[in-house]
Amino acid sequence: MDETRQRMLEIYTTSENSNDPLSWFEELYCSSRRDRSLIPWDWMEPHPFLVEWIEENHHTGRALVVGSGLGEDAAFLNEKGWEVTAFDVSESAVEWASQLHKGKEIDWLVGDLVKPEESWKGAFDLVLEVHILQAIPKKIRNAAYTNLSSFLERHGLLVCIGRLADGPEEDIEAPPWPLSREFIHQIGEGLSEVEFHTAVIPDKEEVRYRAVWKRD
Ligand SMILES: C[S@@+](CC[C@H](N)C(=O)[O-])C[C@H]1O[C@@H](n2cnc3c(N)ncnc32)[C@H](O)[C@@H]1O
């Protein structure tokens, strides 16, 4: 196992018995002191599934980036003409992302998908979630995913990207937890399915999915 993942696991383990199962994200970002090599999920570029989807779908409007991390996807959408609001549960991640993408007109906010802002309800043409649900412990994952579709405006699109489990979800000790098809299909309940795409990204071993739904 590489050192970055080992460090992440140590930080994650300390939070396992705390009252706040998401607190380890702040600890990881804060203790990294703006060294990107210490953030195991930082690809330093927008997700290839997002880039591919945007190339094929020339929409613009208001976008909400959920769990924006160091902001590469938010910055990419902004460059493509979207009016972007990006939030993350970690204050250090939000400050770091806004610094990295200084000069871009993005609304960077600290926020929690489990307890979202009332004002986001029905307010967005695009809601994007990349590798978030798979990083949220199972015990609160349901409380998180059920909020995603509520942010959509009429005809708005929900795009979820993550790791696909090879069958039912397994009991894996630490994140990421690949998601089963059954769970992913629940995310879009009440919406119309537009796409369910799976592929292995070059240089990454796991199968990933991109699921897209539309609010009618
Ligand atoms: C695996 S990282 C992915 C970050 C980013 N989307 C990317 O692809 O690089 C998961 C991110 O979700 C954030 N996060 C976890 N739970 C969250 C929640 N309930 N609400 C908002 N952000 C959350 C973490 O702080 C972290 O930045």
In angstroms, what is the span from residue 132 Cα to ligand 1's centroid? 5
Exposure on the CB side of residue 172, measured as CA atoms within 13 A: 15
pLDDT at 167: 81
pLDDT at 172: 85
130 lines ligand 1 (CB under 6 A): yes
In a domain, 173, yes or no: yes
pLDDT at 135: 96
Mean pLDDT on 90-105: 98
Please report the beta strands in the chain, taking only residues with DSSP state E, as ranges in sequence order: 62-66, 83-88, 106-110, 124-130, 152-163, 192-200, 207-214
Number of domains forming the structure of the chain: 1
pLDDT at 15: 81
120 lines ligand 1 (CB under 6 A): no
Closest ligand 1 atom, residue 47 Cα: 8
In a domain, 6, yes or no: no
In a domain, 170, yes or no: yes
List the domain range (segments joined by +) for residue 119. Answer: 41-214
Averaged pLDDT score across all residues of the chain? 95
Query: Ligand 1: which of 5, 31, 37, 89 to mutate, most ligand atoms within 8 Å of CB?
Result: 89
In a domain, 142, yes or no: yes
Q: What percent of the chain has pLDDT over 90?
A: 89
26 lines ligand 1 (CB under 6 A): no
Q: Do residues 161 and 210 make contact, with C-beta atoms less than 8 angstroms apart?
A: yes
CA 46 to chain centre: 12
Distances in whole angstroms, Cα of residue 20 to Cα of each of 43, 78, 142, 198: 26, 32, 16, 32
On the question of pLDDT at 17 being above 80, the answer is no
Question: What are 114's two structure tokens?
Answer: 């489990």
In angstroms, what is the span from residue 129 Cα to ligand 1's centroid? 9
In a domain, 56, yes or no: yes
Question: What are 4's two structure tokens?
Answer: 């970055």
In a domain, 103, yes or no: yes
pTM summary value: 0.97
74 lines ligand 1 (CB under 6 A): no
In a domain, 20, yes or no: no
In angstroms, what is the span from residue 43 Cα to ligand 1's centroid? 13
In a domain, 31, yes or no: no
pLDDT band at 1 (very low <50, low <70, confident <90, very high): low
Closest ligand 1 atom, residue 176 Cα: 1
Measured between alpha carbons, how far is 144 from 36 in angstroms, rounded to an integer?
Answer: 27
163 lines ligand 1 (CB under 6 A): no
User: Whose structure tokens read 């009016």?
Assistant: 83
pLDDT band at 4 (very low <50, low <70, confident <90, very high): very high
Q: What is the CATH number of the domain that holds 184?
A: 3.40.50.150
Per-residue pLDDT tens over the stretch 102-143 = 999 999 999 999 999 999 999 999 999 999 999 999 999 999
Distances in whole angstroms, Cα of residue 39 to Cα of each of 31, 69, 168, 190: 10, 9, 28, 35
